[in-house]
Amino acid sequence: MARSKEFDHDVALAGALEVFWTKGYEGASTDDLLKSMKIGRQSMYDTFGDKQALFLESLRCYHKLDNKNFFDHPGDNPSPLDVLQGFLAIFTRRSAEENARGCMGINATTAFRNAQPEVTALARGTATSVQTMLAGLVEAAKERGDLAKSVNATAAASFLYATLQGLTVRARAGASRDELAVVADFAIKALKAM
């Protein structure tokens, strides 16, 4: 008779996500994962498969959470330009420890490069979704008269997304909040000056 699972799948997955996000794929040992997931070795393999499969499921979960954070945020403020500023300034509000972890998606993309097609596909999917949302905010800012009508929303969204990625990497490398704030402010001023 098969034993029923005695753990919460989502809680165990959240534990794995934390380990992979903090230590990366290579740095995460099976023992680290089991300890954080609070499950036994056989339960991990039976439920999630091998370390690679567990990593990919954790990364998919991270991308869902990351997208949710992005798409929930615009409703916080009626000014699209303020929302854009808020996205860029997020690293100035995080602790040094949070910034040091970086973005799990960027970490995975740079670690695996193109060796893992699913990692690349997740990164592209997130990029497309976020850039589409950013372009919508740029269009809304144009309609309010906060940005010039001549601003190309697609190009501006690509610029903003690249700026976010750059800020993520700089934050992970230890840039101060003041240094990050200067970049965020400059990006918004550059958009307004166009």
- Is there a domain that residue 156 lies in? yes
CATH, residue 186 = 1.10.357.10
Task: Output the 3-class SS for 100-115.
Answer: HHCCHHHHHHHHHCCC
Q: What is the pLDDT along the chain (194 residues), one digit of tens a residue?
A: 445 557 889 999 999 999 999 999 999 999 999 999 999 999 999 999 999 999 999 999 988 887 666 666 555 567 899 999 988 888 888 888 888 888 888 888 888 877 888 888 988 888 898 899 999 999 999 999 999 999 999 999 999 999 999 999 999 999 999 999 999 999 999 999 98
Domain hosting residue 161, numbered range = 60-193
- Is there a domain that residue 53 lies in? no
Global pTM value: 0.83
- Is there a domain that residue 32 lies in? no
- Is there a domain that residue 171 lies in? yes
Number of domains the chain is built from: 1
Task: Give yes or no for a contact between 19 and 62, defined as CB atoms under 8 angstroms apart.
Answer: no
- Is there a domain that residue 188 lies in? yes
